[in-house]
Amino acid sequence: MAHNAAELEQSIRSCHRCDLSKRGGKPTLRQIVQNVSLFVVGIAPTEGAERLGEPFTGGIGRKLCSWLVSLGLDPNDVYFTNAIKCSVRDSHGNFCFPLSGVNHPWVEECRSWLLEEISVIRPKILILLGVDSLYSLTGYDSISRYQREKQGEQFRGIPCFALNHPSSDIRISGWENSSPVQQAANQLRTLLRASS
């Protein structure tokens, strides 16, 4: 287990634990910095994100950043990562996204990295985007059920919110206007004000 941010980042970047690394994927992550306010978990890197070497660098990332700014957050105060660090490819090495199910072994293989990122970074709030990231940390396989039963409750001492992944919304411009996202935004504003 890594003891600090630099060691953890190096360990993840050199990981070959599962077969995604043999299919041409490589771990895609941002610089690990400690004590950010928000920790956002997606599913897996897109092809473009993998090419650029950082998750959430495309249109979804820009959409999320503008939503975070509307909450009063500096995007530099947010750590973006994925439940699966390497891009998902089929057995021929062809890129495929999104995933089709939450019980995929890659989610299991990569879970320990996610847990270590949380414990090293020590964020104030967790946001899980999409059912794969929700399942990875909580075992829940339904976003709506988690929202009804647990939304905002603590995971390892950190308030945790689950939201649909913006890419799953066909009318992507409407993601931030959906009722669960607006409710979460209100709770997040309150939490961020209380912790500042």
Taking the complex as a whole, the smallest distance from the CB of residue 33 to ligand SF4 amounts, in Å, to 19
Q: Helix 105-121 to helix 131-138 angle, to the nearest 10 degrees?
A: 70
Pair of tokens at residue 47: 């092809």
Say if strands 158-163 and 154-155 run parallel, antiparallel, or are unpaired: antiparallel
Taking the complex as a whole, the smallest distance from the CB of residue 17 to ligand SF4 amounts, in Å, to 4
**Alpha helices by DSSP H, the chain:** 5-13, 47-52, 59-70, 105-121, 131-138, 143-149, 179-195
Residue whose CB is less far from ligand SF4, 40 or 68: 40
Pair of tokens at residue 109: 């293989």
Taking the complex as a whole, the smallest distance from the CB of residue 73 to ligand SF4 amounts, in Å, to 27
Residue whose CB is less far from ligand SF4, 68 or 107: 107
Residue whose CB is less far from ligand SF4, 43 or 125: 43
State residue 167 phi and psi, 5-degree precision.
-70, -15
Residue whose CB is less far from ligand SF4, 84 or 163: 84
Residue whose CB is less far from ligand SF4, 21 or 142: 21
Taking the complex as a whole, the smallest distance from the CB of residue 29 to ligand SF4 amounts, in Å, to 9
**Separation CA 49–CA 88 (nearest Å):** 12
Taking the complex as a whole, the smallest distance from the CB of residue 65 to ligand SF4 amounts, in Å, to 24
Binding site for ligand SF4 (CB under 6 A): 12, 15-18, 20-21, 27, 84-86, 106, 109-110, 113
Say if strands 154-155 and 78-82 run parallel, antiparallel, or are unpaired: unpaired
